[in-house]
Structure 1
Amino acid sequence: MTTKTLTIQKVDGKPGQVYYPLKLNTIPTPQPQPGELQIRILSAALNHRDFFLRQHLYPSPSFTTPLLADGTGLVVALGPNTSQSWLGKRVLLTPGRGWDASPSGPEERYAILGGTSGGVALAVLQFAVALGMNVWVSSGSKEKIEKARGMGAKGGVCYKDEGWEKELKGLLPKERGWFDCIVDGAGGNVVSKAVKLLKPGGVIVQYGMTVSPKMDWSMAAVLNNIELRGTTMGSRQEFRDMVAFVREKQITPVVSRVVKGGLENIEAIDGLFEDIRKGGGDGGE
């Protein structure tokens, strides 16, 4: 038996300038080992990580490891010493491996969410609203700010506007003119903006750095006891808790566009990458 995988093909080019083409491969179907499951993929999500890999913006990109990380599937075969209860179950796929548990993240009341078009940002917005938090957003598109308001955000500002942080602070209640945390995936000058917006001891949660792989840290942030907390995915326990929370709150993920036809429809898949390149769409692809 064989299966299809989607990888990137190596071509010459410098990081940030190269754009590796997609390659469809046919390989022998791997057999599950002890304690493992064989899963038929039913749907897979395209992440900015995959887009960055095609531009060599991640170190040491693999040209043999399949693209796409998150998804859903059906358990179709079991390895030795694996519980029969798994067979036929629908499962969620997460790229975290060997990470069993870790401390919980911050629980805050007033939050700023940077960017409202990526899947992570929209999921954060949905989770925060479901927790009863007051969320304001920044975006490069006024249309996307309105969409975020429709999803429960209190309001937002366009980060392309000069002095947007002053405008954002002006949206807060007079008796409560500061934020508890900022959740951001861009980086750039977020620290210099944060010291004007966060309470003393406030938290910046950084899940990505799409503007630049480096950020400045200022003495003003030190004097305000600002905490910068990096985050990537999470432990398996956190993933279980998240799935239970989504089920409890009946949260539906935001999906911008779906293409069908499997991996053979490589032209349409390439079109999803173009959506990301142009900054179009909302949520997962």
Structure 2
Amino acid sequence: MKAAVLTQADAPLSLEERADLEPSGDSVVVQLQAAALNRRDFWIMQGMYPGIEFPTILGSDGCGVVSKAGSPAGEKWLNQEVIINPGWNWGNNPRAQSSAFKILGMPIDGTFATEIVVPVEYLHKKPSHLSMVEAAALPLAGLTAYRALFTQGKLQSGEKVLVSGIGGGVATFALQFAVAAGAEVIVTSSSQEKIDAALGYGAKFGYDYNATDWVGEANNQFGPVDLIIDSAGGSGYGALLDLAAPGGRIVNYGSTAGPPPKLDLFKVFWKQLHLIGSTMGTPDDFAAMLDLVDQHQIKPVVDETLPLSAINDAIEKMRHSTQFGKITIGCQG
């Protein structure tokens, strides 16, 4: 097998030849056809992630064909096209992950390879309307967006939603999922090109979050927002409190801009706001996300597909955040 291996922080991945994998117990070998990048891969490569181990194969998203089985439980999956749930050992509490929770792609060897060993409990049939590349774009970001919107955000049809920082994988899925669920959606970005792309996927309006009075413009055009999906935090967080409707919900699945410099608690309690954290999702969230994708025939937005041999070029593209949607990898190339 071939694999793109991380051997040290702040260094390119190295393409290595390794022994072919063999399954044991209730696991299978998946011949990977496609994988996808997540911001998590970039942070690990920069050494900015807890519990980094070397050497390791990164990559949380993958789709392929089951080629070997370690037990009768896996034999029923042989030759089937599968998508992999990257969140392992969630635990018994649906409200939060257990201390044993792990994400595929460090410390567990991930999908930037030609094959991978996966326990059968994390296999799902590939949605039939998706190509291998489209399906590979779905797992981590799709799961994160689904939980933020529905499990944590309690989105209802007809509500008004803001998705901040449109263009990244989770934000793009959040836009697609919210539109499919009957919500009215607006987006923010510092890129007019990304805003224009979001309008093509159903956003009502888009705003440059660097503009002085974008919140006032959004209120005038769209009105207060019931649910806000945010991954940035930082100095722009106060604007989200201003735009949120009374009783509104703000769900954060990341903090790429760091903590807010201050939090106006008066606005939080006077407007009866709900500030909610979210990350990844339960096995039930993953199954429900796939059902939503299948019911509405949603197709992930794929920005570009590169071969495994060009994995470092893909990582470099993610560094500059120029993509709209997902960057994917052809694992056999």
TM-score norm. by structure 2 comes to 0.75
Task: Answer yes or no: is 1:253 the counterpart of 2:300.
Answer: yes
| C-alpha deviation, 1:205, in angstroms | 1.0
SS of the aligned residue for 1:136 comes to: strand
Task: Answer yes or no: is 1:4 the counterpart of 2:2.
Answer: yes
Change (3 A) 1:213 1:23: farther
SS of the aligned residue for 1:160 comes to: coil
Q: How does 1:267-282 map to 2 (within 5 A)?
A: 268-282=310-324
| C-alpha deviation, 1:215, in angstroms | 6.5
SS of the aligned residue for 1:239 comes to: helix
Letter in 2 for 1:274: E
Task: Answer yes or no: is 1:232 the counterpart of 2:282.
Answer: no
Change (3 A) 1:201 1:43: same
| C-alpha deviation, 1:62, in angstroms | 2.2
SS of the aligned residue for 1:170 comes to: helix
Q: How does 1:66-81 map to 2 (within 5 A)?
A: 66-81=57-72
Letter in 1 for 2:256: T
Cα distance in structure 1, aligned partners of 2:220 and 2:86: 40
| C-alpha deviation, 1:127, in angstroms | 0.5
Task: Answer yes or no: is 1:111 the counterpart of 2:111.
Answer: no
| C-alpha deviation, 1:124, in angstroms | 0.7
Cα distance in structure 2, aligned partners of 1:75 and 1:23: 26
Note if contact 1:100-1:237 (Cα within 8 Å) is conserved in structure 2.
Answer: no
Structure 2 equivalent of residue 41 of structure 1? 32
Moved more, 129-138 or 198-207: 198-207
| C-alpha deviation, 1:233, in angstroms | 1.1
| C-alpha deviation, 1:24, in angstroms | 2.1
Q: How does 1:116-195 map to 2 (within 5 A)?
A: 116-172=166-222, 177-195=223-241
Which protein has the larger Cα radius of gyration, Structure 1 or Structure 2? 1
- By relative contact order (CA 8 Å, sep 6+), the higher-ranking structure is 2
Residue identity (%): 35
1:18-48 per-position Cα deviation (integer Å, ceiling 9, x unaligned): x322122333333212111111111000111
Structure 2, unaligned stretches of length 5 or more? 96-150, 328-333
1:232-272 per-position Cα deviation (integer Å, ceiling 9, x unaligned): 11111111111111111011100110113xx3x1xx22111
Cα distance in structure 2, aligned partners of 1:214 and 1:145: 24
TM-score norm. by structure 1 comes to 0.87
Structure 1, unaligned stretches of length 5 or more? 12-18
